[in-house]
Amino acid sequence: MKKKRKFIRSRIIVKLYFCCVLKDTLYFIFFYKAIVDLFFLFMDNLRSTIATKILSNIPPRVKPIDYLMEALNISRESVYRRIRGDISFTLEEIAKLSVELGFSIDELIIKDMHSRVFFDLHISGTQDPSETFMIIFQQYFQNTFDMSYAKEIESTMILNHIPPAYVIFFNHLFKFTYYRWMHQNQESSLKYCYSDVTLPDKLVYLQQKAMENMKKIRNNTFIFDPNIFLNLIREIQYYYKRRLITDSEFFVLKEELLALIDMVESIAQTGFHGSEARFNLYLSALNIESSSQYIRCDDQVKSQFFVNSLEPVTITNPSLCAIHKKWLDSIRKYATLITQSNEILQVRYFSKQRSHIEEISELSPFITL
C-alpha cells in the first residue's frame, strides 16, 4: 500500500511538472490526470485511516478478523480486502462500527485539523428513562471490559459522588441509583416509591459482569471530594423523609452504606480490591466541582466529564486528554494519599462517615456539615 501511494505521488509530480511547461490541450490533459491521481491518493489514505481506526478500537483479546466478520456479516476474504485497502468500508458499515466500538466518524474525516475536538455525548435516542439507564450502564460495562483486558491500564478519576464502580457491589444501593434515576426522569407520580422498582434482568446481568471486571482492573487512582459519601447519604435521607422508602428498606440501605464504608476503608488499608485490582485513594482538601476521569488502555486514551453521576461526555483527542491528565495530576497537590498511609486521617475520616450514616433517622434533621 505504501509503495502504491509513493508511485502515485511520483506520477502526480511528473504530471504537474508538465502542466507548468505545456500549454493548451496537453496542459488540461495532464492537469486532469493529476487531479484524478490526487483523488485516488486521498481515497487510499482515507481507507488506510479508517481501517487503522477500526482495528485500534477492537477490544484486546478479540480477534479483529473474526469480530468484523460477525459484526458486518461478511466473509473472511471481504474483511481482508477492506483491511488491505483494496475496497472501502461502506458508510453503513463505518456507522455501525463507530457505535459499537465508540469512535467518531468526524475524527476520521478531519483527523488533521488539530484545532477541532469532537465530543461523544452518548445520546441514547430513546425517551424511556429505563432504556436510557440501560444504555448508559452498558457503556459503563464496556469501559470496565476494555480496562480489565488491557495489557497496560491507567485510570485517574476525581469524584464528588459515589461512582458505579463502588455501588455495583451492593444490590440495594445499585437499585437505589436506578430508582433515583427513574424518579427524576420518568413522568410519573411524585409518590413513586422505592418498592415500586424492579431491576430489569439485563441490568442485573450487566451489574454482575461489571463486578467481575472491576476486580481485574489494575492501576486505579481515585481522588475523593471530602463530602463524597455525605452526598449519597443525603439523597437516601431525602427519599426516606418523604416516606418513599420504608423503614425496612431504609434499614437495608443503611447497612449497605456501612458495608460500603467498610469496603473503601479496606481498600485504603490494603491498596487492593480482589486479587488484581490496585487502588490509590486520595482525599481532597478542597471541594471537587464535578467528576471526571482519564483512561489509558494500551495506546488508546479518553477523558470523560460527567454531567451527573452517570452520564459522561467523552473525548478521545490525545492533546486534550493530555491536558486533562495534567490537570487531574495537579489536583493531587491539594489531596492526601490515604492508601496504606496516613492511618490517623483514615480513622478520622471513615469514623466521621459512619457517624453521618447513624444520623439518618426519621426524627433527625437533614445532615449538615
Q: CA angle at residue 169 from 102 to 337, to 5 degrees?
A: 85
**Are 206 and 166 contained in the same domain?**
yes
Instruction: Return the C-alpha cell found at 309.
Output: 453521576
Tell me what pLDDT residue 27 has.
45
For residues 251 and 310, is the Cβ–Cβ distance under 8 A?
no
Which of 108-112, 329-333, 336-340 is the least confident region? 108-112
Tell me the percentage of the chain whose pLDDT exceeds 90.
31
Instruction: Determine the Cα–Cα distance for residues 104 and 53; give it in Å rounded to an integer.
Output: 10
**Are 175 and 288 contained in the same domain?**
yes
Tell me what pLDDT residue 118 has.
61
Question: Is residue 252 classed exposed, middle or buried when 0-12, 13-18 and 19+ CB atoms within 10 A define those classes?
Answer: middle
Average pLDDT value for residue range 224-242? 91
Average pLDDT value for residue range 49-62? 82
**Are 192 and 214 contained in the same domain?**
yes
Tell me what pLDDT residue 361 has.
61
Find which of 52-56, 97-101, 320-324 is predicted with most confidence, using mean pLDDT.
320-324
Average pLDDT value for residue range 295-320? 83
**Are 61 and 188 contained in the same domain?**
no
Question: Is residue 343 classed exposed, middle or buried when 0-12, 13-18 and 19+ CB atoms within 10 A define those classes?
Answer: exposed
Let me know if residue 149 belongs to a domain: yes
- Kindly report, residue by residue over 282-304, the tens digit of the pLDDT: 999 999 988 999 988 887 888 98
Which of 100-104, 251-255, 260-264 is the least confident region? 100-104
Tell me what pLDDT residue 110 has.
58
**Are 148 and 70 contained in the same domain?**
no
Instruction: Determine the Cα–Cα distance for residues 334 and 340; give it in Å rounded to an integer.
Output: 18
Tell me what pLDDT residue 50 has.
81
Domain extent, residue 75, equals 2-116
Question: Is residue 191 classed exposed, middle or buried when 0-12, 13-18 and 19+ CB atoms within 10 A define those classes?
Answer: exposed
Residue 11 vs residues 26, 35, 48, 162, 208: alpha-carbon distances, Å: 16, 11, 20, 60, 59
- Tally of domains in the chain: 2
Judged by DSSP in three states, 127 sits in coil
Contacts of 355 (CB under 8 A, 6+ apart): none
For residue 313, how many C-alpha atoms fall within 13 Å in the half-sphere facing its CB? 8
AA letter at 276: E
**Are 98 and 126 contained in the same domain?**
no
Pairing of strands 220-224, 277-284: parallel
To the nearest whole number, what is the mean pLDDT of the chain? Answer: 80
225: pLDDT strictly greater than 90? yes
**Are 112 and 133 contained in the same domain?**
no
364: pLDDT strictly greater than 70? no
Average pLDDT value for residue range 307-330? 85
- Kindly report, residue by residue over 91-147, the tens digit of the pLDDT: 788 888 887 787 766 666 655 445 556 666 666 666 788 888 888 888 877 777 777
The band of 369, judged by pLDDT with boundaries at 50, 70 and 90, is very low
Residue 332 DSSP label: G
Judged by DSSP in three states, 282 sits in strand
Instruction: Return the C-alpha cell found at 348.
Output: 478520622
Let me know if residue 369 belongs to a domain: no
- Kindly report, residue by residue over 169-211, the tens digit of the pLDDT: 999 999 999 999 988 887 766 788 999 999 999 899 988 888 8
Instruction: Return the C-alpha cell found at 39.
Output: 483523488
Average pLDDT value for residue range 345-368? 76
252: pLDDT strictly greater than 70? yes
Instruction: Determine the Cα–Cα distance for residues 73 and 70; give it in Å rounded to an integer.
Output: 5
41: pLDDT strictly greater than 90? no
Tell me what pLDDT residue 362 has.
46
249: pLDDT strictly greater than 90? yes
Q: In terms of Cα–Cα distance, which of 99, 112, 118 is closest to 321?
A: 118
**Are 86 and 211 contained in the same domain?**
no
The band of 11, judged by pLDDT with boundaries at 50, 70 and 90, is low
Q: CATH number of the domain at 63, please.
A: 1.10.260.40
Query: What beta strand segments (E) does the chain contain?
Result: 119-120, 153-159, 220-224, 272-273, 277-284, 292-297, 300-306, 312-315, 335-337
